[in-house]
Amino acid sequence: MPKVVSSFELTLKSRPRHQTLTNWLYGELRTAILEGRLAPGARLPASRDFASQYGLSRGTVVTVLERLQDEGYVSSRIGFGTWVNRVESPRPARHAAITPAYIRHAMAGYKRPQPWMDQAFVAGPRPFRIGVPAIDEFPAEVWGRIAAKRARRFGSWLKKEADRRGYGPLREAIAEYLSASRGVRCTAEQVVIVSGIQQALDLLARLLLKKGDPIWMEDPGYFGARIAFDHAGARTIAVPVDEEGLSVSAGMKTYPDARGAYVTPAHQFPLGVTMSLERRMALLGWASRAGAFVIEDDYDSEYRFEGPPVPALQSLDNHSSVIFIGTFSKTLFPALRVGYVVLPAPLVDFFLSFRARTDFRNSSFDQAVLCDFIADGHMARHLRRMRHMYGERLTTLMEGARRYLDGLLEISPVRAGLYTIGYLRNEMSSRQAELLAEAQGIEVLGADRCMLRGPDPHALLLGFGGFDEVAIRQGLIRLAKALS
């Protein structure tokens, strides 16, 4: 029985002169069925409607449908009409296997970025995949209620989206939030909504760097940033990181004339250290003297489980050197794809016209829903709850690691973020350990993947945010087996 009603008009190729109407229509419908353009179960219009739609006589249509039915392509029943059957497609024509020159040309000119994981991502994240917040704990009902209300009040967001920076009330809410919680000095005029930090990095890299321009990057550092800088043709200068963060003096020694620097000062990716005040001042001093920019990636600073919150680097900047970027991927959920860039005022318009080459703005609807979620206090509540829960999960991980991984992996004492780093104490390389863990069904990331130039730090990154206490403990037992 038909399940799908074909509601779209089927495009038929024009009829070659030598072909009869019947043969032409038969050929077109048969091809459409074999190619899946007419899906199994799709109901065809009644022969009378079909004939008038395509300017044919009804007799021609009936003849063709009868032939298709005799050959098993369609079925019909009085009262139900005619519908498409499930048929095996023949092997694709030989020419389909030949890749056209333009595709080969595009592929040859493109260097695929080194994937950061060779592991095939199986369904559902397994412990200890990084970048996964506790999605089950997200107040989806509240979100759904807000979304339904906004969807009904179509005009409340549809007409107001004239500003290419993003939905005004959301930018206001973000500016207020950043000022209160991160000490960021900005107005809503300087906030531009983007589809996450990765888009911000890509745009900034292409806007601020020309081919061959040097940029300092933390080593080890965030591979997503490296991909963006590499694709802009920039030259990434690996600057070592120690317990105080990026070594500004090392950067100045190797490349004092860099155009800019990319840093994660609140929670260095991947070592987890916080940049010291002295280093912050040194970095800002260098940037203002060199006329360089500093991209501050504040990807997960909301989660600090001990000590006072650390203000943003941007809050110390008096020379418009810092471009601050943030995301809702960790605080809410990554699939939202909403992040923000806080730009020095003179750069805003330029950034927007640059962005307009590929993308005008984010979905206004998502922005309106997010805005209400923040303005009604749900985000602050969710953050408080999550901070507590993630703190407990990290404690479970640290205690469990002491118990099960003693002598194998030593977890860093840093208590922040949604992942942590563990140093291998068993002589294994990071990649060996990653592969052995994978064989036990455990997803850990070898820290060597974050190195630009330095040697393998013999360490693993372990995400704990998305896994409850039981999953964490079971994961640790399996990891111990892999590393033993």
Binding residues for ligand PLP (CB under 6 A)? 131, 196-198, 222, 224, 264, 269, 297, 299, 327, 329, 334, 339
Minimum distance of ligand PLP from residue 9's CB (angstroms): 40
Which residue number, 268 or 396, has a Cβ lying nearer to ligand PLP? 268
DSSP state of 136: G
Distance CA 99, CA 153 (A): 48
Among 399, 397, 406, CA closest to 463: 397
In the bound complex, what is the minimum distance in angstroms from residue 333's beta carbon to ligand PLP?
A: 10
Q: Other C-beta atoms within 10 Å of 426: how many?
A: 13
Nearer residue to ligand PLP within complex by CB, 2 or 265:
265
What span, in angstroms and rounded, lies between the C-alpha atoms of 358 and 353? 10
Task: Return phi, psi of residue 295, to 5°.
Answer: -90, 120
For ligand PLP, the closer of residues 47 and 198 by Cβ is 198
- Complex with ligand PLP: residue 143 or 340, whichever CB lies closer: 340
Q: Which is nearer to ligand PLP, 150 or 226 (CB)?
A: 226
Please state the closest distance from residue 144 (CB atom) to ligand PLP, in A.
Answer: 22
Residue number with CB closer to ligand PLP (327 or 364):
327
| Least separation in angstroms between CB 41 and ligand PLP | 38
Least gap, CB of 196 to ligand PLP (angstroms): 3
Residue with tokens 């860093």: 412
**47/327 with CB nearer ligand PLP:** 327
Q: What angle do CA 426, 429, 433 make, to 5 degrees?
A: 75
Containing 218, the helix (H) or strand (E) segment is: strand 214-219
What three-state secondary structure class fits 108? helix
Identify which of residues 33 and 461 has a Cβ nearer to ligand PLP in the complex.
461
Rounded least distance, CB 216 to ligand PLP, Å: 15
Longest dimension (CA), the chain: 87
CA dist 45 → 23, 62, 451 (Å): 19, 12, 61
- Of 220, 225, 194, 196, residue with least CA distance to 208: 225
- For ligand PLP, the closer CB: 228 or 401: 228
DSSP 154-186: THHHHTTTT-TT--HHHHHHHHHHHHHHH----
Shortest CB 192 distance to ligand PLP, Å:
14
Report the run of H or E that residue 366 belongs to, with start and end. Answer: helix 364-375
Min CB(203)–ligand PLP separation in Å: 12
CB closer to ligand PLP out of 299 and 404: 299
Shortest distance (Å) from residue 269 CB to ligand PLP: 4
**DSSP state, residue 49:** H
Instruction: Rounding to the nearest 10 degrees, give the CA dihedral for residues 463, 465, 466, 469.
Output: 100
Distance, CA of 366 to CA of 355 (rounded, Å): 19
**For 50, how many CA atoms within 13 A lie in the half-sphere containing its CB?**
20
From the CB of 466, what's the least distance to ligand PLP, in Å?
A: 12
